[in-house]
Every structure is written in C-alpha cells, then in structure tokens.
Structure 1
Amino acid sequence: MVSSQSTSPTIEYDAFLFDLDGTLLDTADDLGTALNTVLRSQQLDTVSREVYRAAASNGAAALLEVGFKDKWGEQPQAQLVKQLIDAYAANIAKHTTCFAGIEPLLIELERKNIKWGIMTNKPGFLTAPLVAAIPALKNACVVISGDTLAEAKPSPLPLLHCAKLMGVAPNRCLYIGDALRDIQAGKAAGMHTATALWGYVPNLTEVLSWQADFNWQSPIEGFNHI
C-alpha cells in the first residue's frame, strides 16, 4: 500500500481539476471495443481488457499499436486511427462509467462550493458528447480538451487556462490524473498534483518516480483536501 501523501502537507484547495479517461471515467471498455472492431476488420486477433486497459489513456495510435504489435509500423496508420475513432465515437458511452468514489467526491465539492473542472487531452469532438452522456459531470465549471488551445498536456497552458476561467489562483488548484503528462503539466502550472492510482497507471515504481504531491488509492482521499 502506497502512502496517499508524499511530501506536501494536507491542504484545502479552492478548485479541483481532473483528467478524464482513467481519472474521472473508466472508458477502457468502449475504447477497447473500438480497437477490437478495427482488429477484426483486419482479420487479426482481438486483445483482452487487461491488455488494452494499459493503453487506454494514451490515444488512438497507442491503442492500435497494442493491437497490431510489431506490424503497426507497416500499417496505413492515419486510416486506421480514423477507423478506430469513428468506431469509438459511434458508441462513446456504452460501457463508460465514473470510477467508484468519483460521484461522492464531486457531490461533496459542490456541497462545499469548491469549483471543479475537467482538462483532458481528448479532442473536443469526443470530449463534449462523452461528458454530456455522464450525468455526474454535468456541473463541471470548465471543460477543456486537448485541442482547445494550441498546446496540450504536458504543457501547463491548458491548466492555466482552466484556472483563469474558474477565477482561481493556480497554486490553489489540485490537478488529479493517471499519466506522467498530467503530473508534469500540473507541476509546470504551479498546481499541486495527485496521481489517480485507480486509473490506467503503469507499475507503482514508475508512478512514484513522477513525484506527485499525492498518490491516491481512491477518489475518497480527496475528502481530506476539501
């Protein structure tokens, strides 16, 4: 069991910002279904949840590489990425749900009048319908996608943009994510960071090397900072 806290003291924040895939939402099965649809169309073996889940936060090309393995470099990659995205967009929230503990955390943030928002590298044309399909996310103060600005994570610019729109100082924000780029972006923006260990994280040794301020086993640990 890893400690939920590394070096930072318990702090109460004015705003929480969240990554989307692997942090707020378990989107792996819808992404994996899209991947397997592409693989079947190419007469290739499908992959298991255990395999595709590890790549679920890393974008369409990373998912396809998991499926095609050493054959990926020989493929018409742009065409296959489009095929996967089209398949995913057609069934974007069929199996997707909030991770356990997310809804209570969001409810408590709202009860305490603490702002919360979403900053994801997912493109806006996928982010908007996905967020709209999940009732628990309807009260997000801000939703920023990977193509909202000219730069995406690990650039700090989208997170700084979120803070500006919310009217909150960056150093009073906590950013929660499940990938190295999330922690890098949060640190570069001057925010505190928390790793979502329930998400699509790699091995624990690698996660600890990111040196987030907190490593949360469950979203409920966020109650300690409200």
Structure 2
Amino acid sequence: MAGLPFRNIRAVLFDLDGTLIDSAPDLGAAADKMRTDRGLLPLPLERYRPMAGAGARGMLGVAFGISPEHPEFLALREEFFTNYESCMTERTTIFDGVPQLVSRLVECRMAWGVVTNKSARFTEPLTRKLPLFTTAGAVVSGDTTPHAKPHPAPLIEAAARLGLAPGECIYVGDDERDIVAGLAAGMGTVAAAYGYLGATTQPAEWGAHATINSPAGLLQLLESA
C-alpha cells in the first residue's frame, strides 16, 4: 500500500516494545516473581505476552486480575517496576529482521529514532545497553513530554530532535495508540502486525496507512514508494 505518505521520507520513528524489541519475557518474569513471592503458582509466558504492550497495567492484570482502579495497584506497580528494573535486559531480544532493517536505514542515510510510552527510568538504561540503539538519532520516552501516546506530542518532539518536520517522518508501532498518535502528528503510519497483538486485536481497523507482518516489510514499503 505504498503511496504519498511514504514518499520523500527522511526518518523512521519506531515504538519500542513489540516493534523493535521483544521484552515480554522480562516483563512477564518481573510480574511472575510477584506471584511466586506470594506463594502463588507461576504462569507461562504465553499468558503475559499478549499484554506486554500494556506495561505494568497489562502485567499486573494477568498476574493478579487487577486494574488501575484497585486500591493496591500503585503499590503493586512500584514493586513490579523494581523487579523489572533488576532484570530488564536478561531475556529481552531484538526481533528478527530489525538489525538488518536498521542497518539498511543507516546505509541509506535515513535518520531513525524511538518513541515509547516506557518511562525514561527504563528506556535510557535499556537502549544504552543494547548496541542496536547506538545509531538512533532520538529516543523519546513516555515522560519526556507532558503527554504520552496516543497524544502526538512525543512524536513531534522526536521529529524536532532530528531536525525534521513531522511530515518527513513515518511512525511504526504495534498498538492502536501508536497509529492514533502518528496520524495526529501528521506522519505516515505503519502498523507492525508482528508485535504484541491480543487475539481480538484487528490492526486493519486502526486506520494506519500500511500494515507490515515483519520488519523486512518496512523496507519493501519504503523502496516501493
């Protein structure tokens, strides 16, 4: 579905979890430790994976069946954060095809960056530790601006850090809020259908300009524009 939104593009911005990295094993382990610390049976990763894109809210929902309205949610969330902080690079991997995609972008002198709802408390040490991110021109976290996605402010901030107009960028993400934010920022949008999608999620309904089933699909999209 290549077309106008992908022509004259000078940068690609990506969501982080579920788009560039598979952090579900570490997120799930952080939540599951809370279960086993309380004498509860561990849960398989397959239970946690579909909710990995929802961060603490998703992980605590799986582990304990609670929502942010629960009176103990904030205390449990901080415990989860502490657990995750201690293990967040132990099992996390880069999705297959992503290193090749980033290398190709760099070869083509196309800027790239990250816009995530993950707070800087986690984003900064994580991206410093993984060699993939040494060539990223911008890393914007969920608390970098006063608003997180689906608000467009973080995407606009990332474009500014690259010295570009939002319309010169595209945004790739595996959640509907990524597409909402990208559209609101005036960027071309790409839904990453290989990310953390629940069984009832329908990326085709998000309104993205295109959908890809693998990182390589983005290269094909850009090269055919």
- Contact residue 68 and residue 74 of structure 2 kept, 8 A: no
For 2:190, the equivalent position in structure 1 comes to 194
Secondary structure of the equivalent of 1:138?
helix
Cα pair distance change 1:8/1:47, threshold 3 Å: farther
Q: Name the amino acid aligned to 2:206.
A: W
- Contact residue 64 and residue 72 of structure 1 kept, 8 A: no
Q: Name the amino acid aligned to 1:152.
A: A
Instruction: Give how far 1:11 is off.
Output: 3.2
Deviations along 1:66-103, one digit per CA (max 9) or x if unpaired, are 11126986562111111111011011100111100100
Alignment match of 1:95 (pick from 91, 98, 101)? 91
Alignment match of 2:14 (pick from 10, 15, 18)? 18
Instruction: Give how far 1:43 is off.
Output: 2.2
**Matches of 2:193 and 2:21, distance apart in 1:** 13
Deviations along 1:93-126, one digit per CA (max 9) or x if unpaired, are 0011110010001000001100000000000010
Instruction: Give how far 1:8 is off.
Output: 6.2
Secondary structure of the equivalent of 1:80?
helix
Alignment match of 2:37 (pick from 37, 41, 46)? 41
- Contact residue 29 and residue 49 of structure 1 kept, 8 A: yes
For 1:132, the equivalent position in structure 2 comes to 128
For 1:142, the equivalent position in structure 2 comes to 138
**Matches of 2:68 and 2:164, distance apart in 1:** 44
Number of residue-to-residue matches in the alignment:
222
Q: Name the amino acid aligned to 1:165.
A: R
TM-score by length of 2: 0.92
Cα pair distance change 1:10/1:185, threshold 3 Å: closer
**Matches of 2:82 and 2:95, distance apart in 1:** 25
Instruction: Give how far 1:12 is off.
Output: 5.1
- Contact residue 30 and residue 88 of structure 1 kept, 8 A: yes
Percent identity between matched residues is 36
- Contact residue 97 and residue 134 of structure 1 kept, 8 A: no
Q: Name the amino acid aligned to 2:76.
A: L
Does 2:162 correspond to 1:166? yes
Select between 66-75 and 76-85 the one with higher mean Cα deviation: 66-75
- Contact residue 56 and residue 80 of structure 2 kept, 8 A: yes
**Matches of 1:190 and 1:152, distance apart in 2:** 16
Q: Name the amino acid aligned to 1:22.
A: G
Cα pair distance change 1:219/1:149, threshold 3 Å: same
Alignment match of 1:56 (pick from 43, 48, 52)? 52
Cα pair distance change 1:39/1:71, threshold 3 Å: farther
Q: RMSD of aligned C-alpha atoms?
A: 2.0
Select between 104-113 and 57-66 the one with higher mean Cα deviation: 57-66
Cα pair distance change 1:164/1:208, threshold 3 Å: same
Cα pair distance change 1:106/1:14, threshold 3 Å: same
Select between 205-214 and 28-37 the one with higher mean Cα deviation: 205-214
Cα pair distance change 1:13/1:6, threshold 3 Å: closer
**Matches of 1:46 and 1:196, distance apart in 2:** 30
Cα pair distance change 1:6/1:51, threshold 3 Å: farther
